[in-house]
Amino acid sequence: MIQTDSLETVKAIQESSLTNSSSALIRSIHYMLVNIGLWELQHILRDYNKIVDYIAKMTFDTNHS
């Protein structure tokens, strides 16, 4: 399961096919997920994503200091 607080991203990936998205990044993500086989993409509220966001930023800051 993949969770994100970006509803636009969820819609773009779920609605895209390998040929109809104008975004190369969305096409690449969709291609990788299709090759994985079984996957679920879920939108979560930003409030529920704060801890993960904090950890990611902390890791990024540590690696780039």
Pair of tokens at residue 41: 């993409």
- 5 DSSP 8-state letter: S
Residue 64 — pLDDT band, cuts 50, 70, 90? low
The distance of Cα 22 from the centroid of its chain, to the nearest Å, equals: 17
Read off the pLDDT of residues 30-53 as tens digits, 9 standing for 90 and up.
888 889 888 888 998 888 878 877
The span from the CA of 27 to the CA of 21, in Å, is: 6
Count of CB atoms within 10 A of residue 7's CB? 11
pLDDT, tens digit, for every residue of 19-34?
A: 667 788 888 888 888 8
Quick check: 16 pLDDT over 80?
Answer: no
Largest CA distance in the chain: 40
Extract the tokens encoding 29: 């993500």
